[in-house]
Structure 1
Amino acid sequence: MNRRDALTRVALIMGGTLIGGDYFLSSCSSPAEEKDTKATTAAKKEKPFLSQDQVAYLNEVGETILPTTKTPGAKAADVGSFMAVMVKDCYKPDDQQIFLEGITKLEQASKQKNGKGFLESTPEQRTVLLTALDAEQKNYSKTKTLEAPNHYFRMLKELTLLGYFTSEVGSTKALRYLPVPGKYDGCVPYKKGDRAWATT
């Protein structure tokens, strides 16, 4: 599956356009990206965009969105590391800031709702919290103007879906995948419960 197809499918799942989608399709070359000197390049290599703790945290958030069932969940695809790269390389600085603040907001929402942090919450508490945040972002997106900031949870959810379904685990375990497609068949029988194809 190529990047354009993956973005289109995730956008359809989310019911609209994908935050940062224009940058994903242009190989993540943000116009706001500064021209690197040797010093700034070295500094960027030393300090990652997200810490290992934040990546692990995002893996847990992703696992709540796409949990392990008969197929591996989002944590198996290491969606946290995927998010770190995509937000750093493909999001505008304003959206990067919203994303970083969103991790803190999610933790605060968990403490307010459950009386404890997200990682200390039970799987059921995590699901209830993220379901409420998803409803919040959907309502926000319905009335959002073009100038208004994006909702952090929409970013988290989009990146979880994109990271998972374009990973080896998502493509081969959750979807049906043929590395080398055979002949064209325009009328493939479908049985209820069949997995979608990762390749076309």
Structure 2
Amino acid sequence: MALIDRRTALAGVVALFGTGVFAPIARAAGAAQASKIPVISEGPPSVAVFTPAQRALMTALSDRVIPTTDTPGAIAAGVPAFLEKLLADWGSPDDRVPILDGLAAIEARSLKDYRVSAAQATPAQQDALLTLAMNDQLPKGATFFEAFRQLVITGYYTSEIGITQEREYLPVPGEYNGAFPYSKVNKVYSA
């Protein structure tokens, strides 16, 4: 019994975002469906996309989008490395602009409001900064937030942790029970 791989999962996640999918994700998924690429997470990025400070902030914000709860979060799933690799190998320099500009806007706002780098801000402060971006209350914040959210979700739900721990993988689900009580459902299934 073979587990679902990242290439297959990537195609499924793209369907979640529809026509508004961030371009690097769409490119990687298209190549994955054509079996032109190895698993995306293999090897280092072709270029460094982030400075060390940007990488620390991107990592902290990834953890706020999908934090550790009763299942591992974005950091444990390797989302920050995936995100940089996807932007490096499947994103054009123009595709990176909203992410880099958004990180800069969040950093500037954190320094102004909290007098601390956003990577060192408290989780509540980081949530507030992401909310400002989501509500387009930072320069080009909504553009950043949507692209960043898609990257984090894609990285997480195509990782081994996202496939096997957050969701329950059943290659052949059990019998059909149309009267199964919703209160007994523990996880969403992926196949």
TM-score (norm 2): 0.73
Please say if residues 66 and 73 of structure 2, whose CA atoms lie closer than 8 Å, have aligned partners that are also in contact: yes
Equivalent residue number for residue 70 of structure 2: 70
Does residue 19 in structure 1 map to residue 10 in structure 2?
no
CA distance in 2, matches of 1:53, 1:129: 17
Task: Give matches, 1:1-200, under 5 Å.
Answer: 2=8, 3-9=10-16, 11=17, 17-20=20-23, 21-27=25-31, 47-51=47-51, 53-136=53-136, 151-178=143-170, 180-181=171-172, 185=176, 187=178, 189=180, 191-192=182-183, 194-199=186-191
Instruction: After superposition, give the CA deviation of every residue in 1:27-78 in whole Å (9 maximum; x if it has no partner).
Output: 28xxxxxxxxxxxxxxx85x53334554343221111111111111111112
Please list every run of 5 or more consecutive structure 2 residues that lacks an aligned counterpart in the other structure: 33-44
Compared CA separation, residues 185 and 91, structure 1 to 2 (3 A): farther
TM-score (norm 1): 0.70
Q: CA RMSD in A?
A: 2.9
CA distance in 1, matches of 2:179, 2:27: 34
CA distance in 1, matches of 2:174, 2:189: 15
CA distance in 2, matches of 1:188, 1:99: 45
CA distance in 1, matches of 2:166, 2:121: 27
Structure 1 position 116, deviation (Å): 1.6
CA distance in 2, matches of 1:174, 1:156: 20
Compared CA separation, residues 68 and 19, structure 1 to 2 (3 A): same
Aligned pair count? 168
**What percent identity do the matched residue pairs reach?**
23
